[in-house]
Chain A
């Protein structure tokens, strides 16, 4: 059985936010919506260090949906709109979602987003903040994003470019690509080569090998959510020049 997971090597992560942007562009997220975020741990501003001279540090942490094995969002969904597919992907059926947002409350990683309004309204507001009145795209009908709807084998709508108002959305591991045998956009679009995507159940997959060789941790492991996103912790510097490897950030 295939069970998809992801490894993010925090040593390799350069904090550039390309993963968040490619995710946004490919998955048609309007201004205000981000399925994935990258922040500097402990700092209010991205790429501003924490600590005191000379022991300043910047650790970048990308957070997509963790696609938990024991997913709290799945458990609380009253209508079965959020479910875990057999291959481990946690998905939202846009046609079944009633917008109750229990899942948003339940998710300890804060990755779920809600469409309070028509995405066009997000664009309008975004461009307004950027100083444009209404002429958002020069070509009025233009919106970025993978153009076609995607349904699972049993017909559930898990990707559509124009999300209806009142549904919850989140990272799908790019289900529309995974179903075509392609890796998620953030993996293909990571210039730092920080991400590995693959089958956790296949002992010969790259991801399994890496997880066997390297010590990895998962976010909020003690909650028992069993995320399928694994992080390789950053090497920690001790004083000047010396390098110590440690599991915790």
Chain B
């Protein structure tokens, strides 16, 4: 499979990509010609799955990238320079020893890593044949596609979705697969997720970070915490462990693992009982005045009420199907009033407290209470600072001091405005992560800290967020993909359980199970919960075909049947738009793709073409030229094949042009991208989205608070009707009335101890046997598993994985610094070298996720984790917005010296 140096030079020396394709864009890019003695700088965007999307300059000399440095060209200079040590050393991956060179077909056993290098034609034909075979046997939805976060690349990842939509494959949503979906967002606000851009942090006066290690996981944004402090903000860090972020904070509060909900509800207790809440805000924007029936725990509907029935029936016709008519008790008029769900303009003065009797249509009466009253009772009875201190205080610390702390922090948070809460992904990747989020959202809602500069709650995980509708490119002529939830795939027992049958209403599953797995841009055989299960499925043949697309050989490509070499983000045109800063940016080719690597849009086009030829769908056969956004480009390549002038070089040029066309297509029509053209992007670098806020700043819910538009704002790509039904009142909802919430006692945010509903439920022995929480945090030196093989990053870690623990744990287990230790449970194990860290909670063991199994003696840290599924996540199904999400940290373990 080795390509000789001469071949390589031939491939590299194609020089300017302008030749052949006459296009104004290529003229723009043609200055990067190789071979000259000049140093060229090419602006691109670094975009692994960290959501950073940092602008970089590639320094190109004689056709090679010699180094990468932050471009620092954002129009708001405060953002400069975005980028970190991983992006800076990306050349180690582009040119590294794991770089793929040619298409590969497996010749050994699965996982053995034996392949033969083949031609593109052979690999593509073989893959297409296998995929069609599976489709014919089990149906197209038995093929599962995982492309991880599409925000990192709308064009090429979009091409994968486009292919999936042609045939109706099942797509695995990376956001839930990764545990990044903070379920409280959809439950409370009806959105996928929202966050401030980091430049907004400096407008806060109080920043409370609940378990988010910003100084390690958000390197380009971390400075804004420092700048906020310089401008007088107080930063507090609530975390079970001390971290670099805790070191920068004004105050670190250590609490027990996964007890943030109790802390937040204790804060709510103080805010409510000391009347520190913003009364007008909660009456106008939340469901707190809405009445709930005490007999069936459902919200009172206007058309159930005798005196409101006629009015309600009239109104019902005027509101969309996804809304509903709820009721408040108006204190001025002394009667019940209907809440208009289509506006936040308030025409009532509701009672927040008390209990009322209501006569229903059938003449019976029921007792009702406002949601606020119920919250007040809940926090007064269950979450006094003293009760909260019982839950959150770490072993050996003073509980009375913690009770005082809850009071002080509550007063500080309620009175220092604007308040911003940052809720960390590691913190919500627990079974009851949604409850913690709902409790934290309660603090910002009670204090009116939503929709204003520097005031809100943010979560920062996953480069998931789709900024505007992209269906015109992602979906082939309006066709639809299917979806499969990763956890359901991994957890057959749950899929067949009574609980699933009882509560699942919409969550789909392929009728003949998943039989083929296609993945790109990810490393599921290391990185996914559970890695061993995936390997078993591959070994047993349950998975009949595995196809991997990547630019380097990873643990996962080793498990594939066919490996297709894609490109790094300095070898293609790509459109990116991510979360932490609301800019649209391009990636541009700084160099020709190395060896025989090809832009992914071409790979998916070729697969589509070859599959269509074998698949019985005349419509698709007739339309296949339209896979590329301009059919002429498709035809051009086909003609070249016919007349013998086809070359890899020509295919690349056409693929580049198709990428640009797809970009133009996507930038096309939406209000948010108006005026953002391809030409401008290539010239200016980064352009802000047309957000409806002052200075186009990313301030979530601005329109709700200032323009009184009902919740939720849209979460692309889902249509509003799909997500608005989560919050039928059009308001921020703390009361959830679906049966599953009632059955599990989660109608209101409550605290539930970790492991009780998971580890200890399936194995009561676990409570004594595995008393440590296995936390797999993010490392400074990797973006998940990307850069695991980066030589410079490895050097900074002394080439070895570590296990962090409290000195007490080490003493108890007879472990010394540097000892090789094994962290294990009944499911699996992982080994690393001990680091004794006084900042780690005594009930916690930490391993840094992302190490490839070759650095872990063949193990994976994900052999310990388990695909738990929480029933309330089945109440609705909208992919990546409301579906079961991974809870990595809900994992009990023990540790021993080996």
Residues of A within 8 A of B (CB): 11-12, 14-18, 20-22, 24-26, 31-32, 44-49, 51-54, 56-60, 126-127, 129-132, 135-142, 144-148, 185, 188-194, 237, 240-241, 243
Query: CB distance B244 to A47 under 8 Å?
Result: yes
Asked, given contacts A17-B780, A132-B97, whether A12 binds B223 with beta carbons under 8 Å apart, the answer is: yes
Contact string against A for B residues 636-652, beta-carbon threshold 8 Å, 1 for contact and 0 otherwise: 00000000000000000
CB pair A18 B61 closer than 8 Å? no
Q: Among the listed stretches B88-96, B151-159, B189-197, B540-548, which one makes contact with chain A, having 4 or more residues with CB under 8 Å of it?
A: B88-96
Q: What are 19 A-B residue pairs whose CB atoms fall within 8 Å in the complex?
A: A11-B226, A17-B85, A25-B67, A48-B839, A49-B242, A54-B252, A135-B97, A142-B64, A142-B95, A146-B66, A148-B39, A185-B69, A191-B70, A191-B81, A191-B83, A191-B219, A192-B222, A194-B223, A237-B250
Within the complex, what minimum Cβ distance (angstroms) separates A61 from chain B? Answer: 13
Q: In the complex, which residues of chain A have a beta carbon less than 8 angstroms from the beta carbon of B89? A: 21, 24-25, 144
User: By the criterion CB–CB under 8 Å, are B791 and A130 in contact?
Assistant: yes
> Which single member of B59, B69, B229, B244 contacts A188 (CB below 8 Å)?
B69
Q: How many Å lie between the Cα of A54 and that of B432 in the bound state? A: 28
Within 8 A of A (CB), among B173-220: 215-216, 219-220
CB neighbors of A among B756-796 (8 A): 780, 789, 791-792, 794-796
Q: Give the contacts of B91-121 with A (CB-CB under 8 A).
A: 91-92, 95-99, 101
Whether A31 and B791, one on each chain, are in contact in the complex, defined by CB atoms closer than 8 angstroms, is yes
Tell me the complex Cα distance, A59–B234, Å: 19
Q: Do A145 and B67 touch (CB < 8 A)?
A: yes
Interface centre among A45, A47, A131 (most CB of B within 10 A): A47
Closest to A26 in B: B67
- Give Cα distance in the complex from A22 to B59, angstroms: 13
- B251 engages A138 (CB within 8 Å): no
Q: Chain A contacts of B70 at CB under 8 A?
A: 188-189, 191
Known: A48-B837, A188-B72. Is A58-B66 also a contact (CB below 8 A)? no
- Give the residues in chain B near A129, CB-CB below 8 Å: 794, 799
Give every chain B residue within 8 A of A46 (Cβ-Cβ): 796
* B854 CB-CB contact with A under 8 Å: yes
Q: What chain A residues lie within 8 Å of B220 (beta carbons)?
A: 191
Partner of A14, one of B59, B219, B246: B219
Q: Determine if B309 is an interface residue (Cβ-Cβ < 8 Å).
A: no
Which of chain A's residues have a CB closer than 8 A to the CB of B216? 16, 47
Query: Which of B64, B96, B795, B838 is the one whose CB lies under 8 Å from A51?
Result: B838
Per DSSP, chain B at the interface is mixed
Instruction: A189 to B215: give the CA distance in the assembly, Å.
Output: 16
Residues of A within 8 A of B95 (CB): 137-139, 142, 144
> Nearest A residue to B247 by beta-carbon distance?
A58
Given contacts A22-B88, A49-B837, A243-B250, 11 further A-B contacts (CB under 8 A): A11-B229, A11-B230, A14-B215, A14-B222, A25-B89, A25-B91, A45-B837, A137-B97, A189-B88, A191-B83, A193-B223
Residues of chain A with a CB closer than 8 A to B718's CB: none
Q: State the Cβ distance, B40 to closest chain A Cβ, in Å.
A: 11
B82, B234, B248, B791: the one within 8 Å of A127 (CB): B791
User: Do A56 and B791 have beta carbons less than 8 Å apart?
Assistant: no
Alpha-carbon separation in the docked complex, A130 to B39 (Å) = 31
Instruction: Kindly provide the distance from the CB of B37 to the nearest chain A CB, expressed in whole angstroms.
Output: 8
Are A189's CB and B247's CB within 8 A? no
Q: Is B84 an interface residue (CB 8 A)?
A: yes
What are the 4 A-B residue pairs with the smallest beta carbon separation, nearest first?
A138-B99, A58-B247, A21-B85, A147-B61
Which of chain A's residues have a CB closer than 8 A to the CB of B595?
138
CA distance A24 to B254 in the complex (A): 37
Interface footprint category on B: 35 or more
Q: A138 to B789, alpha carbons, bound, how many Å?
A: 13
Which residues in B have their C-beta under 8 angstroms from that of A127? 97, 791
Tell me, in angstroms, the Cα distance from A127 to B98 when the chains sit together.
11
- C-alpha gap A241/B91 in the complex (Å): 43
The answer, among B69, B219, B222, B854, for a CB contact under 8 Å with A131, is: B854
Please state if B66 and A56 are interface contacts (CB–CB under 8 Å).
Answer: no
Chain B 545-589 per-residue mask, 1 if CB under 8 angstroms from chain A, else 0: 000000000000000000000000000000000000000000000
Interface centre among B69, B247, B251, B594 (most CB of A within 10 A): B247
Per-residue 0/1 for B42-69: is the Cβ within 8 Å of any A Cβ (1 yes, 0 no)? 0000000000000000010110101111
Complex: A185 Cα to B89 Cα, angstroms:
13
Q: Contacts A126-B791, A131-B855: A140 and B5 contacting too (C-beta < 8 A)?
A: yes
Q: How far is the CA of A22 from the CA of B90 in the complex (A)?
A: 11
* CB pair B247 A146 closer than 8 Å: no
Nearest CB on A from B423, distance (A): 20
Q: Are B247 and A57 in contact (CB under 8 A)?
A: yes
Kindly list chain A residues whose C-beta atoms are within 8 Å of the C-beta of B229: 11
A190 to B83, CA, bound (A): 8
Least Cβ–Cβ distance between B562 and chain A, in angstroms: 20
How long is the Cα–Cα vector from A192 to B221 in the complex, in angstroms? Answer: 8
Q: Mark B220-254, 1 if CB is under 8 A from A, else 0.
A: 10110010011000100000001110111011101
Q: Is B356 an interface residue (CB 8 A)?
A: no
> Does the CB pair A146–B84 fall under 8 Å?
no
Tell whether A14 pairs with B244 under 8 Å between CB atoms, given A25-B792, A53-B254, A56-B839.
yes
User: How close is B74's CB to chain A, nearest CB, in angstroms?
Assistant: 12
Q: How far is the CB of A121 from chain B (nearest CB, A)?
A: 14
Which residues of B from 785 to 821 have beta carbons under 8 Å from A? 789, 791-792, 794-796, 799, 804, 817
> How long is the Cα–Cα vector from A64 to B690 in the complex, in angstroms?
42
Residues of A within 8 A of B251 (CB): 237, 240-241
Distance from A168 Cβ to chain B, minimum over Cβ atoms (Å): 21
B835: Cβ under 8 A from any A Cβ: yes
A140 to B677, CA, bound (A): 40
What are the residues of chain A within 8 A of B246 when measuring CB–CB?
A: 56
Known contacts A12-B223, A21-B85; is A144 also within 8 Å of B244 by CB? no
Give the distance in Å from the alpha carbon of A17 to the alpha carbon of B797 in the complex. Answer: 12
Inter-chain contact A146/B59, CB cutoff 8 Å: yes
What residues of A have a CB within 8 angstroms of the CB of B835 in the complex?
Answer: 45, 48
Contacts of B83 in A (CB 8 A): 18, 189, 191
- Cα A190 to Cα B96 in complex, Å, equals 25
Query: A123: shortest Cβ distance to chain B, in Å?
Result: 8
Interchain nearest-CB distance for A214 vs B (Å): 11
Chain B residues, Cβ within 8 Å of A137: 95-97
Q: Which residue of B lies closest to A9 (CB)?
A: B226
| Inter-chain contact B88/A21, CB cutoff 8 Å | yes
Identify the closest chain B residue to A15 (Cβ): B244
Complex: A97 Cα to B447 Cα, angstroms:
67
Nearest residue (CB) in A for B781 is A17
